[in-house]
Structure 1
Amino acid sequence: MALRILYLHQHFSTPDGATATRAYNHAAALAAAGHAVTLACGRYAGAATGLDGPFRRGARRGPVAGFEVVEFDLPYGNAQSLARRSMVFLRYALAASRLSLGQSWDLVIASSTPPTVAIPALLARRLRGTPFLFEIRDPWPELPAALSRPGPGGGASTGSGGVPGAILGAIGRLADAACRRAAIVVALTEGMARTALARGTDPDRLRVLPQGADLALFGPDARPWRPAEAREGEMIAVYAGAHGRANGLGVLLDAAALLRATGIRILLVGDGAEKPALVARAAAEDLPVSFLDPMPKRRLAGLLAGADVGLLCLAPVPEFAEWTAPNKLAECLAAGLPVVTNVPGRAQRLLAEGGCGLTVPPGDGAGLAAALLAMADDPARRRVMARAARALAERHFDSRQIAARLVATVEAAAGHAPLSAIRAALAP
């Protein structure tokens, strides 16, 4: 029996965009399983929804990969002010609530962030009795609270804007309601899952489905390329992701300052509020660093195939150790890249388990430089790590397998299978 599913994810993108494609993969898998899926999103900077027609009455819609996409005319970007972003979140929640209450659905999927996607799901449950699945991609309010915590200089630890306590309290109450009333809660990491348990989720209703990568796209068949800035013989280390203060990319430039004339080039791909300052510093100090704009996943796959090392970098915020699931890590591993990171905890354990990377302390530019030099000095070791990276991705980060587990989770949440059978059906 086909389910009528409303999938709420404000930051949706197809692989033609330059941002995460988890919702695309999951919606496509649900549609391929025979379910009728409508995915509602906003206009996210760097995303490509697959729709190009005009907006009428604040929205446009059309088929994408076997499901329907409804895109609200609500532009959003990380460079917007906190007040502007908050307003866009609330406007999306209002538009999505009209959709969740205006039709009959068998299940609503609410994928956070932002946590306000839970509002239309909770309303549909309360007023229409519609069950919902709540997905935690970032733990709110825990993560913004950590980002707003005063740092050594007295300001917010990553310059996140300092979310007011009243707003954090309201988000906490919303997260409590979502975690307690959802038919199923999905978390991307065990650390995120623990935040759901603390907010009242029944352990029997909780599943961990990690971030994944398209192993066919990011794999041996990708056509490698290198940017014009890369000199012949240079070892290329690639960071591909947001350039915000939470990413702490200044430490990569600290490392680059120690890597002049070593034949190592750091390549930063992406955009964000900190990019202009990073570009200016790299130019002023003549650092071996190059910058590229965000690019579609297919183009990125070729770049990673032509690189030598992947980089995973975050600001020194302790909570990042267990509460983040960067898709860039899964994509680098799928591309067969050894990874150098300054993120302890989950990422460090994965790289150690797989024998496919090096971890240095947070904020340690000299340590990052030393790790990259060690990679450059031992090509044979890099090749061993590259094979191990791909093997680790095949074991844990195949987006098709993760999507199949999501389909089984949804069908159980909607009553197509007893909840007691979830663990057997979804065993990794």
Structure 2
Amino acid sequence: MHIAVFSQHHTNPDCPATSRHYTLLAHLARTHRITLITTNTWERLRITHHYPWIPEEVEVRAAAVSYENKMGVGKRLLSFGRYAAYAIREGLRIDKPDVIWGISTPLTAAWAAAQVARLRGVPWVFEVQDLWPAFPIAMGAVPYRWAQAELHQMEFGLYRSAQHIVTLSPDMSSYVTLIGQVKDKSWYFGEEKVTTVLNGTDLELAALATDEAVVALRQEYDLQNRRVILYAGTFGRANDIPTLLAAAEQLALNHPDVVWLFMGHGYDEPLVQAAASRCLAIRLVPPQPRHAIFAWFRLAELSIVSFLGLPVLDANSPAKLYDSLAVGTPVIVTNPGWTKELVEAHKCGWYVPASNASALATRVAEVLADPTTVLAAGRAGQQVAQQYFDRQQLAATMQNILEQSAKQL
């Protein structure tokens, strides 16, 4: 079977990114022909060169289209539009696929997949990584009502035209299913059209976080006898970085042995740099390749999964949650959605309301004061990861969805 994959943001384990689709594509390529239509944005950002840029046996068409988290709205739209145009052109040039897999974000990547599917008369599967356009609208990036309405019409049309819809969290699935049920009869679709395939994590990479690797990190970064709190991810507008910095500075007043590591890059990086220069308890760590990130999570006693207190962000499926639990490091989450339910149900983490620095500092202090509970939470999280988060198992689920969708048009 020939599967065409439309994804603007391809990464591999040498990149400072989650690389979900690298694992899924590698799995699919064992038994199917795969053509990936993407960009070379992340290729130049590789930190190491331990892995092939594209999984073996995957064909690739890559546009020279730039993108970065610091871009303003205008530059982002230009980037999205350039990729969509390229993806449609290449999608019409490649051998006819049996099924198309369109991945947002951005929504325009999935739109391009839908157009090629329509023109070539093949089914397509829509993977919803973030709730677009609900997310950019909530963040104020789309201030005009007419533009919001147009984007929602595009979103609803994609849900309707897709043979199947895949989301990365149960809350995303609920959101999409509700839309299918509240629209008029011409739009209707039921919950059987929507499947949750969690973001997940790479357990074989998590196994690289050995005792020796952790000891080496402590020595290299002078972290002996320090209790580490880790935030690893994008310093984006939605990640509530100012609250984390304020909590770190408050905690430092009474807990001089605690150090907060901020690993990543993005819009709020200057804020992190400024805080690190005035507070010894805050350190900015350069982005790390995915295959190395797990040792950092294991080094930490606790990791933070933070977002602004916007309802649309409650549905997120953050990679840092899965990666942290995979190595036995419990998490603090700041959104009252499915992640709160997960960590409380499995006793592998704690919830603190978003944008409340004092509450976060207090909770971290309480957790660190009870090492036995921290260890128990870590063990519980690791069990959850092994049972539900293995990307090899998730890849098999995705393969089944694509195979069944190809048969149904």
Provide the rounded CA distance (Å) in 2 between the counterparts of 1:132 and 1:51.
34
Provide the rounded CA distance (Å) in 2 between the counterparts of 1:135 and 1:49.
25
**Aligned letter for 1:278?**
V
Please say if residues 220 and 335 of structure 1, whose CA atoms lie closer than 8 Å, have aligned partners that are also in contact: no
* 2:145 alignment partner in structure 1: 165
Provide the rounded CA distance (Å) in 2 between the counterparts of 1:8 and 1:220.
31
Task: State the shift of 1:393 in Å.
Answer: 0.8
* 1:84 alignment partner in structure 2: 75
Task: State the shift of 1:386 in Å.
Answer: 1.0
* 2:267 alignment partner in structure 1: 273
* 1:153 alignment partner in structure 2: none
**Aligned letter for 2:287?**
P
Secondary structure of 1:319's aligned partner: helix
* 1:316 alignment partner in structure 2: 309
**Aligned letter for 2:295?**
G
* 1:38 alignment partner in structure 2: 35
Query: Do structure 1's residue 211 and structure 2's residue 199 form an aligned pair?
Result: yes
Please say if residues 14 and 48 of structure 1, whose CA atoms lie closer than 8 Å, have aligned partners that are also in contact: no
Written as runs of structure 1 = structure 2, the 5 A alignment for 1:102-117 is 102-103=93-94, 104-117=96-109
Residues 1:48 and 1:106: Cα distance change in structure 2 (over 3 Å): farther
* 1:424 alignment partner in structure 2: none
* 1:337 alignment partner in structure 2: 329
Bigger mean CA deviation after superposition, 38-47 or 382-391: 38-47
Give the number of the structure whose residues are more often helix, by fraction.
2
* 1:19 alignment partner in structure 2: 17
Task: Give the gaps of 5 or more residues in structure 1.
Answer: 53-60, 149-160, 420-428
Task: State the shift of 1:65 in Å.
Answer: 2.8
Please say if residues 7 and 38 of structure 1, whose CA atoms lie closer than 8 Å, have aligned partners that are also in contact: yes
Residues 1:24 and 1:317: Cα distance change in structure 2 (over 3 Å): same
Please say if residues 219 and 305 of structure 1, whose CA atoms lie closer than 8 Å, have aligned partners that are also in contact: no
Please say if residues 226 and 307 of structure 1, whose CA atoms lie closer than 8 Å, have aligned partners that are also in contact: no
* 2:87 alignment partner in structure 1: 96
Please say if residues 22 and 55 of structure 2, whose CA atoms lie closer than 8 Å, have aligned partners that are also in contact: no
Provide the rounded CA distance (Å) in 1 between the counterparts of 2:223 and 2:115.
57
Bigger mean CA deviation after superposition, 325-334 or 95-104: 95-104
Provide the rounded CA distance (Å) in 2 between the counterparts of 1:257 and 1:78.
26
Task: State the shift of 1:122 in Å.
Answer: 2.1
* 2:183 alignment partner in structure 1: none
Query: Do structure 1's residue 293 and structure 2's residue 286 form an aligned pair?
Result: yes
Residues 1:50 and 1:92: Cα distance change in structure 2 (over 3 Å): farther
Provide the rounded CA distance (Å) in 2 between the counterparts of 1:242 and 1:302.
18
Q: Which has the higher contact order (CA 8 A, sep 6+)?
A: 2
Provide the rounded CA distance (Å) in 1 between the counterparts of 2:225 and 2:47.
39
Task: State the shift of 1:46 in Å.
Answer: 7.9
Provide the rounded CA distance (Å) in 1 between the counterparts of 2:272 and 2:208.
32
Secondary structure of 2:297's aligned partner: helix
Provide the rounded CA distance (Å) in 2 between the counterparts of 1:235 and 1:171.
46
Task: State the shift of 1:142 in Å.
Answer: 1.3
Bigger mean CA deviation after superposition, 86-95 or 169-178: 169-178
Residues 1:50 and 1:342: Cα distance change in structure 2 (over 3 Å): closer
Provide the rounded CA distance (Å) in 1 between the counterparts of 2:367 and 2:297.
16
Residues 1:47 and 1:136: Cα distance change in structure 2 (over 3 Å): farther
Written as runs of structure 1 = structure 2, the 5 A alignment for 1:143-154 is 143-148=135-140
* 1:67 alignment partner in structure 2: 58
Residues 1:35 and 1:163: Cα distance change in structure 2 (over 3 Å): farther
Please say if residues 132 and 182 of structure 1, whose CA atoms lie closer than 8 Å, have aligned partners that are also in contact: yes
Residues 1:381 and 1:121: Cα distance change in structure 2 (over 3 Å): same
Please say if residues 28 and 65 of structure 1, whose CA atoms lie closer than 8 Å, have aligned partners that are also in contact: yes
* 2:172 alignment partner in structure 1: 192
Provide the rounded CA distance (Å) in 1 between the counterparts of 2:173 and 2:289.
30
Task: State the shift of 1:298 in Å.
Answer: 1.4
Please say if residues 15 and 47 of structure 2, whose CA atoms lie closer than 8 Å, have aligned partners that are also in contact: no
Please say if residues 214 and 399 of structure 1, whose CA atoms lie closer than 8 Å, have aligned partners that are also in contact: yes
Provide the rounded CA distance (Å) in 2 between the counterparts of 1:182 and 1:379.
48
Task: State the shift of 1:189 in Å.
Answer: 1.5
Residues 1:291 and 1:49: Cα distance change in structure 2 (over 3 Å): closer
Residues 1:368 and 1:400: Cα distance change in structure 2 (over 3 Å): same
Please say if residues 19 and 46 of structure 1, whose CA atoms lie closer than 8 Å, have aligned partners that are also in contact: no
**Aligned letter for 2:34?**
V
Task: State the shift of 1:410 in Å.
Answer: 0.6
Normalising by structure 2, what TM-score? Answer: 0.90
**Aligned letter for 1:316?**
G
* 1:6 alignment partner in structure 2: 4
Task: Give the % identical residues.
Answer: 27
Residues 1:47 and 1:388: Cα distance change in structure 2 (over 3 Å): farther
Bigger mean CA deviation after superposition, 211-220 or 349-358: 211-220
Task: State the shift of 1:8 in Å.
Answer: 0.7
Task: State the shift of 1:302 in Å.
Answer: 1.6
For residue 387 of structure 2, the aligned residue among 395, 417, 421 is 395
Secondary structure of 2:311's aligned partner: coil
Residues 1:277 and 1:46: Cα distance change in structure 2 (over 3 Å): farther
Provide the rounded CA distance (Å) in 1 between the counterparts of 2:242 and 2:349.
21
Residues 1:51 and 1:357: Cα distance change in structure 2 (over 3 Å): closer
Task: State the shift of 1:242 in Å.
Answer: 0.5
Question: CA-atom RMSD, angstroms?
Answer: 2.3
Bigger mean CA deviation after superposition, 105-114 or 338-347: 338-347
Query: Do structure 1's residue 306 and structure 2's residue 299 form an aligned pair?
Result: yes
